Amino acid sequence: KQWYQRRVAITAGGLFNKRSMGSITIPPQLNSAKEWVLSKRESLRPWQEFGNYNRASKPGNISVISRRVTHNVSYYYTNYAFISTLLVVYCIISSPLLLLAIVVSGTACYLLSTQKEGKTLQIGGHTFTPKDQAVVCACISLPLLFFASAGTVIFWVIGLTCSVVGVHASMMQLPNEDGTEFEMNESV
């Protein structure tokens, strides 16, 4: 076998479960993240309901806006988080320099986190402790992220998300506002 075929076989052997072909084993550290994503997925409202603009109307006054925003943000929070995530992914993909900066910074942080405790690095007669290595990683990552306009992307995503959430949440009627689901109060 060629060297790259052996490497692929070793890598694939580490990723795939031998008992069930094609299923990827998840590291134990990601189990809690997987459970969190699954719980949020269950609270995701149907997109037909989220985008039902037959329920949209101009709010009458500030108290109506307040009630609508309070209800709709708590009701559609997973949908809003999904939209925010899509905006972040769009920003990262559409900016190659930002993508490169995140990959370099993330790789450096990952390599530092996987080192053994107390492992020092010798470069040119200088000894770098793990703390020194983390400082060097930060000193390289922060300017790289600054020049890649990471701050601009963060504020753009926050601003756009707040605008989208604010407009959607204030325009969508509450269930008992549209005349279909009135609560019945009987007085005796």
Q: If you average pLDDT over every residue of the chain, what do you get?
A: 77
pLDDT tens digits for range 18-60: 444 445 555 666 667 777 777 777 778 888 888 888 888 888 8
Distance of alpha carbon 108 from alpha carbon 106, whole angstroms: 5
The type of residue at 79 is: N
pLDDT-based confidence at residue 166 (cuts at 50, 70, 90): very high
Question: Pairing state of beta strands 121-123 and 126-128?
Answer: antiparallel
Please identify which residue in the block is written with the tokens 């009135």.
182
Residue 69 pLDDT > 50, yes or no? yes
Q: Which residue has the tokens 């009627």?
A: 173
pLDDT above 80 for 97: yes
SS3 92: helix
Contact 102, 92 (CB under 8 A): yes
Closest alpha carbon to 54 in 166, 163, 176, 172: 172
Cα–Cα distances (Å) from 166 to 66, 87, 149, 171, in that order, read: 10, 16, 26, 8
DSSP secondary structure letter of residue 186: -
Q: Is the dihedral of CA 71, 73, 75, 76 positive or negative?
A: positive
125: left (phi over 0), alpha (psi -120 to 50) or beta: left
Closest CA to 37 of 82, 72, 80, 103: 82
Q: Do residues 174 and 67 lie in contact, with contact meaning Cβ atoms separated by under 8 Å?
A: yes
pLDDT greater at residue 7 or residue 164: 164
| Of residues 94, 90, 108, 91, the one with CA closest to residue 144 | 108
CA–CA gap between residue 144 and residue 91 (Å, rounded): 16
